[in-house]
Amino acid sequence: MAEISSGNIWIDTFQSLQKIELEEKYGNKWILQFNYNLVDKLTEEEKRKGWKISQTTKFASFNCSNCSHFWNSSRVTLIFHYCLGKSKTGQVFLRPFCQICRQCNSEYFMKPKFKEESVKAALENLILKIRKNCYREKIRNISQDVMYRTIRTKPHESDLCEACMEGICNKERDVF
Ligand SMILES: [Zn+2]
Ligand SMILES: [Zn+2]
């Protein structure tokens, strides 16, 4: 039977990818959830439990819920925390970083909206890392995500970017 759609592109895309690449191969079901409090570091206890971090940057758009202003950004930070737990269920937490609307300059952080191709590219890359780092598959040189299309955006406005405020913007990195 087909899975019921969650209505969220990240959760739905992850479900269909993990089913083929992880669940059917290794017998462990993986679940993706959002957590807007994730940081780019792991505690010693988290490391001991096997948590890992993957950070990347993707293109996304924003629509201010206050004044309806719309903008694009090619620098939207994503942090994933992932772990194959003792119960043999895989957990992924995702934090997409927000931006502030420059038009109404409110203090509210607006959440990014990603195109399907960006979601797929980010998750395919994450699943390769899970196969390599949680299942010891020999995968060499996981490439940086391919930019499918170059879309012109205005220069990055650091004072409106949540990831810049936390000093972690525009990085590709892994933490183990
Ligand atoms: Zn606004
Ligand atoms: Zn930034």
115: left (phi over 0), alpha (psi -120 to 50) or beta: beta
The ligand that comes nearest to the alpha carbon of residue 157 is 2
Average pLDDT over the chain, rounded to whole? Answer: 91
Measured N-to-C along each axis, helices 9-18 and 116-135 cross at an angle, to the nearest 10 degrees, of 40
Residue 82, strand partner residues: 52, 92
pLDDT tens for each residue of 155-174? 899 999 999 999 999 888 99
Note the pLDDT of residue 154: 80
Cα 83 to ligand 2 centre (Å):
27
Return the pLDDT at 5: 81
* Ligand 1 centroid distance, CA of 104 (Å): 4
Question: Any idea where the domains of the chain sit in the sequence?
Answer: 9-170
Q: Write out pLDDT tens, residues 11-67.
A: 999 999 999 999 999 999 999 999 999 999 999 999 999 999 999 999 999 999 999
Element (H, E) at 22: none
Instruction: Classify burial at 72, counting beta carbons within 10 Å of its beta carbon; exposed 0-12, middle 13-18, buried 19 or more.
Output: middle
* CA of residue 148 to ligand 1 center, whole Å: 29
* 157: exposed, middle or buried (Cβ count in 10 Å: 0-12, 13-18, 19+): middle
Distance 28 CA to ligand 2 centre (A): 35
Q: What is the pLDDT of residue 144?
A: 59
Q: Give the predicted TM-score (pTM) of the model.
A: 0.91
Indicate the range of 63-72, 74-83, 98-107 predicted with least confidence: 98-107
* 79-116 per-residue burial string, b: 16 or more CB within 10 A, e: under 16: bbbbbbeeeeebebbbbbbbbbbeeeeeeebbbbebbe
Q: What is the pLDDT of residue 124?
A: 96
Q: How many CB atoms lie within 10 A of CB 174?
A: 13
